[in-house]
Amino acid sequence: MEKRVYNFSPGPAVLPLPVLEAAQRDLVSLPGVGISILEISHRSKAFDKIINDAEANLRTLLGIPDNYRVLFMQGGALFQFGVIPMNLLRDSGKSADYVVTGTWSKKAFDEAKLQGLSVNVAWDGKPTNFNRIPKQDELKLNPDAAYVYTASNETIQGVQYQTEPAFGSVPLICDMSSDILSRPIDVSKYGMIFACAQKNAGPAGVTIVIIRDDLIEKSPANLPSLVNYKVFAEGKSLLNTPPTFPIYMVKLVTDWILNDVGGLAKMASLNQSKAKLLYDEIDHSDGFYLPHAEKECRSPMNVPFRLAKTEFEEPFLKQAAERGLCELKGHRSVGGCRASIYNAMPREGVQMLADFMHDFRAKNS
């Protein structure tokens, strides 16, 4: 087998090696079943156990209250951007507030607006190129809104809410695609959480939706079944053939966090220590490396940075790749470099990147 490199891609992203090895070992024939997960019927007792175990693991890790449903949907975050206003805004007679902290919350706002619905920007970080999270007194919120929409972590700009934001009694809808399962959260503060799996929870192909019962009841009856949260929940995520392999992988990933890592508090501690390696190298570089996000808003998942001398960026990326430090090119809207260091990125990979950054600076200062 070819040697694995360190994959700093923002997604699809690195998966835990023990999970990949378990999937490889059992791919041809699931123990006790004799059929591959790629072949198994979604109506079988074996898959019923897999999807139920995946949900049980999520409930344990996140402390999901009983009055929330867990759905396994398809279509990624982009699908949710359109489906959320269909279900929660279209027949409400209200408006919705969107806190625009980066590329993905802006895309969510745009998708809602496409439907001709009443959506407002409660705060927009564009004037400073989305390098921070708003302060509470900067938000222009409607206390009678159908919901407030946020993204807990912006993958491209590398900004994160450090604690759950407070929006009063208005239901909080949150895109946690890039930091779910990276730290403990209080699910009861949210009306709905969703996360496409391919950052921290599994491979591309499944989206985890955690939604409160009262919000499910708001789904209009005339929506098509696959975009209707109520119908989808009543069908227990099995209205049609679900993404069986990605759901199986979510089960394995959550097993790994529970049993190998020891839960989300330990996961958060590991993630913070990894992020500190990179941010310390950036902060102590005498301006050689320039961070994108303001210090108090920095993400431990995605670390975007630039080199002060832009002519060094291409050789930096080339030399990093030669050392097995791959997928470090930044998004075109921010430029520079970006290291995505999700749960499954080993500490030694982050240490190697920090050491390379130190050596590259020493040779080029």
Q: Which entry of 97, 124, 175, 179 is annotated as an active-site residue?
A: 175
CA dihedral 45, 47, 51, 52 (to 10 degrees): 20
What is the residue type of 231?
V
Contacts of 314 (CB under 8 A, 6+ apart): none
CA distance 131 to 116: 29
Between the alpha carbon of residue 156 and those of residues 197, 299, 341, 348, the distances in Å are 17, 10, 13, 23
Identify the CA nearest to 95 among candidates 105, 85, 103: 85
Has 104 been annotated as catalytic? Answer: yes
Helices 347-364 and 264-283, interaxial angle, to 10°?
Answer: 0
Q: Cβ–Cβ contacts within 10 Å for residue 143, how many?
A: 9
Has 66 been annotated as catalytic? Answer: no
Whether residue 174 contacts residue 152, with contact meaning beta carbons closer than 8 Å, is answered with yes
First to last CA, the chain: 39
Has 186 been annotated as catalytic? Answer: no
Q: Which entry of 199, 230, 251, 329 is annotated as an active-site residue?
A: 199
Question: Which residues are annotated as catalytic?
Answer: 104, 175, 199
